[in-house]
Amino acid sequence: MTHPFTAPAFPASNPDTGRHDAERRQWLLATTAMGCAATAAVTVPLVASFAPSERAKAQGASVQVEIGDIQPGEVKVVEWRGQPIWVMRRTPEMLAQLDGMTDLADPDSQKKQQPSYATNTHRSIMPEVLVTVGICTHLGCSPVTLNEGTANPSVPADWKGGFFCPCHGSTFDFAGRVFNNKPAPTNLLVPPHKYLADNTLLIGEDDDAAG
């Protein structure tokens, strides 16, 4: 059974001060943690702290992430430019579902900016490792993970697993591709990133000439 998750109110915008940015960042990170924690008991375990590193605190700094400790089905959350970045190691079953997914709004990630390595079915460099910004592209809530077989009534009975945004009901598959007729206008964004080694990611830089 999946825990329900209700997001707290989004902080009001205050363009006159820098306080809004700090509040918004805290809110996004907190709701990400809550969302992952809410589902962790029965679905996706949260691997690591999302506490920002010193490098991440510096605006624009790239963030190095070790991913060898992420087990299949788990998500590690790190901060990059004040945003929660999800690094998910998908299971073979999750990957198999992506190939046959239908009713997607942008299955080939042609809308908005997306690096070339996000335009395949799994939207990633390594098929099993999803790297995405954990923020809904509608109004900025943090989606939660719902696996196949969830009892959550917000998704259809034939739900194959993916992400669900509790704010207005947008749904995404495990590649972050949004389903048709949802408020979110685009797929979850894939940040620039590259591998420094098999188990070492660098988020914030890539070698994608088209990106």
The residues of the shown chain that bind ligand FES, judged by CB under 6 A, are: 136, 138-141, 165, 167-170, 183-184
CB of 12 to ligand FES, least distance (A): 15
CB of 135 to ligand FES, least distance (A): 9
CB of 209 to ligand FES, least distance (A): 32
CB of 138 to ligand FES, least distance (A): 3
CB of 207 to ligand FES, least distance (A): 31
Calpha distance 142→83 (Å, rounded): 10
Closest CA to 103 of 52, 160, 148, 152: 160
Please give the structure tokens belonging to residue 13.
Answer: 């915008």
In degrees rounded to 5, what are phi and psi of residue 40?
-60, -35
Place of tokens 């949802």: 182
Which phi-psi region, left, alpha or beta, contains residue 103 (left: φ > 0; alpha: ψ -120 to 50)? Answer: left
Question: Of 10 and 195, which has the nearer Cβ to ligand FES?
Answer: 10
Question: Of 51 and 139, which has the nearer Cβ to ligand FES?
Answer: 139
Q: Which amino acid type is present at position 41? A: A
Question: Of 70 and 141, which has the nearer Cβ to ligand FES?
Answer: 141
Question: Of 81 and 182, which has the nearer Cβ to ligand FES?
Answer: 182
CB of 43 closer than 8 Å to CB of 150: yes
Question: Of 82 and 169, which has the nearer Cβ to ligand FES?
Answer: 169
